[in-house]
Amino acid sequence: MDIVAVIEKGGIAIWPLLGLSILAVGTIFERLWFWGGILLKQEEVVNRVLDAAAQNWQVAREIAMKSRRQPVGRYLYAPLRLISPEPELFRLALEGAADDELAAMRRGDKLLEAVIALSPLLGLLGTVLGLINSLGSITIDQLGTASTAGVTLGIGEALISTATGLIIAITSLAFYRLFQAFWFNQVKIFRKAGTELELLYRQDWLQAEDSEQVLNDTLPENHVNLYPESFEVPKRDRTSPPKPRTQQKQDDQVNPDNAQIPESDRTAVPNPPGKPEN
Do 33 and 179 touch, CB atoms closer than 8 A? no
Residues with Cβ within 8 Å of residue 212, at least 6 apart in sequence: 234
Q: Is the pLDDT score of 272 beyond 80? A: no
**Which range, of 141-145, 158-162, 192-196, averages the lowest pLDDT?**
141-145
pLDDT of residue 138: 61
Q: Is the pLDDT score of 250 beyond 60? A: no
Q: Is the pLDDT score of 264 beyond 50? A: no
Mean pLDDT of 41-67: 91
pLDDT of residue 144: 53
Mean pLDDT of 185-192: 93
Name the band, by pLDDT with cuts 50, 70 and 90, for residue 217: low
pLDDT of residue 154: 64
Name the band, by pLDDT with cuts 50, 70 and 90, for residue 237: very low
pLDDT of residue 229: 44
The amino acid present at 241, given as its one-letter code, is P
Residues with Cβ within 8 Å of residue 92, at least 6 apart in sequence: none
pLDDT of residue 234: 43
Taking the C-alpha atoms of 103, 108, 113 and 116 in order, what is their torsion angle to the nearest 10 degrees?
-160
pLDDT of residue 9: 72
Mean pLDDT of 107-124: 93
Percentage of the chain beyond pLDDT 90 is: 42
